[in-house]
Amino acid sequence: MNLSLLTPEYVVLGTAVVLLFLAFLTPRRAVIFNTFTVLGVILAMFLEMVSLGNTGSLGMLQVTPLARIFDLMFMAATLLVVLMAMDYFEAREVGGEFYFFLLMALLAMMVLAKSVHLVVAFLALELLSFSLFVLVALLQEENAVRAALKFFFVGAYSSSFFLMGMALLLISSGSLYLNQFLFGHHLALTVVGIALLLVGFGFKLVYVPFHLWTPDVFRGAPTPVVAFIATAPKAAGFALLLQVLARALVPYAAQWMPIVVWLAGLTMLAGNLAALRETNVKRILAFSTIAHAGYLLLAFGVNTTGAYQALTLYLLAYIFMTVGAFAGLAYLGERTRLDNLRGLARRDPWLALFLSLFFVALAGIPPTAGFAAKFYLFAEVIRAGHPALALYAFLNGVVSAYYYLRVPATLYMYEASEETVVPVSGRRYSLLGTVMWIAVVLVFYLGIYPTTFLEVVRQVF
Amino acid sequence: MLTHYLVLAFLLFSIGAFGVLTRRNAIAILMAIELMLNASNIALVTFSRLHGNLGGQLFAFFTITITVAEVAVGLAIVVLIYRLRKTVNADEMDFLKG
């Protein structure tokens, strides 16, 4: 048993534990915690990249190159959120606990992407959920706590469905290992088990009809935490769905594929239509998350290797676009209504430019990552023999352009009023600017050279 | 034999799932979620019994531990809500638009 396979995990865990002690010793030194976390995550990323080819099985965990690529995605998202948090929380009382829980969530996701054993998968899932509940509530402000209460109940409720589904699949398959499922008897139990699992996934990955909690939680939680919840855990959820549906439950593909196609179609429609009527940018982004979950589910609806490769590219693009958009919103504090953005381009041209770029990317307009991701995914859907489905998804994308492009329009085409926020300028917000620069460069890089990443993914699938 | 255990588990699970949707008191919702998790525990132990695999009982122990942690986090959030709003009504978590 080669325990060195998990070196990045050890680094993340070690950083988290040392951080907790540091938080006791020097309670209010945000700079120290932040720098330490950034260094720890960068070291873990470096080790992950070095050991990309170092793979193998550890029994309950299986370290594959794909899992390592997912790890890098989680770590990139975490790194950007940590940088974002530094500026956002500067004026508020947030101690080392914030970074500790962030790192615990990261560790949980890394384990989740590798687990092939139901107990480990469930433990990692719960570690992830609990860390996220605490992160939402940590500020102890009224809106954040209300969001945390909703998030907690939805999370706990969905975990119960998840566990029941797992238990039923256990009874029908006879193995705790996802890769050793033996089917044949108890067809009814298997189907009910898959259905309960899909309900559990529905709450976590926000697809119809379990998506309605997202806007409230996004609206109430602190912006960096929302940026985290909207990106990395979604990628982890899809990594787990890949393990469960596309690996363990492949014998039942004929049963779950049509369900997933319907779920995907309804999810993108529901997310896009609801977003048209929203006036708060954070809530618009919540519905955008739902719509993107719909596009991502398409890959499972067609269930081909090519579609899963496109899914990986889409997840990466989605992470950078969404984190970037939230970094822009973090400048505005709690005032994120469209009225607050009116005519902002005259007061802060750089911020307006960056925000517009991210929303243009989310709308899927070339040459951004949003376009490349949608292009490859829809192309794979057509290749799998479902042109009508691809057309339907494309039309959904056209609808979504209306509410995405409303944000740049509001920024540029109005005069500033007294509602418009006055952004804090100067060096104080240099880290937020850095996050937006990194995100914008990656969004355009992935948009112009998507094949460099796709080549890597194609080698490991 | 198997059906008896499973019917019990399903009944408990449904009572819990229904309770979460109908109760308005945050503590009552927490109790209903506990019921659902315990229904899963029965199903897990059924698996052990049926396949002679102790993994199911082990899983049940882990679930019990996780449940305790879940209640700890949940009650902490409920206490925070109580401090801010002087109520533990779950309607507190719904936002107005905008």
pLDDT in tens, B42-85: 999 999 998 888 999 999 999 999 999 999 999 999 999 999 88
Domain-located, residue A332 = yes
What are the C-alpha distances in Å from A120 to residues A51, A83, A110, A210, A457? 23, 30, 12, 25, 25
In a 10 Å sphere around its CB, with 0-12 CB exposed, 13-18 middle and 19+ buried, how is residue A426 labelled? exposed
A278: nearest Cα among A235, A219, A324: A219
CA A206, CA A289: separation in Å to the nearest integer? Answer: 8
Q: Is residue A69 part of a domain?
A: no
- Whether B85 contacts chain A with CB within 8 A: yes
Count the domains in chain A: 1
- From the list A152, A163, A219, the residue facing B95 with the nearest CB is A219
What ipTM did this prediction achieve?
0.95
| Contact by Cβ (8 Å): B57, B44 | yes
Query: What is the fold, at CATH topology level, of the domain defined by B2-88?
Result: Helix Hairpins (1.10.287)
Helix (H, G, I), strand (E, B) or coil at A81: helix
A120, part of any domain:
no
Nearest to B80 among A137, A156, A164 (CB): A137
What range does the domain containing A302 cover? 249-461
In this prediction, residue A91 carries a pLDDT of 62
Q: How far apart are CA A206 and CA A187, in angstroms?
A: 27
The reported pLDDT for the residue numbered A23 is 84
Give the pLDDT confidence score for residue A428 in this predicted structure. Answer: 60
Residue A417 lies in a domain: yes
- Regions of chain A where pLDDT drops below 50: 427
B77 shares contact with chain A (CB less than 8 Å): yes
pLDDT for the residue numbered B96? 54
* pLDDT number for residue A460: 86
Is a pLDDT exceeding 50 seen at residue B98? no
Contacts with B98 from chain A: Cβ below 8 Å: 279-280, 337
Give a yes or no: residue A58 inside a domain.
no
Cross-chain residue pair B13–A164, CB shorter than 8 Å? yes
The predicted structure's pLDDT at residue B68? 94
* Cα nearest neighbour of A152 on chain B: B74
DSSP for A372-428 reads HHHHHHHHHHHHTT-HHHHHHHHHHHHHHHHHHHHHHHHHHSS---TTS-----SGG
Indicate the residue type of A191: V
Which residue from B26, B85, B95 is facing A216, i.e. has the nearest CB?
B95
3-state secondary structure of A117: strand
A388 belongs to a structural domain:
yes
What single-letter DSSP state applies at residue A245?
A: I
Q: Is residue A266 part of a domain?
A: yes
The reply to whether residue B53 touches residue A176, judged by beta carbons under 8 angstroms, is yes
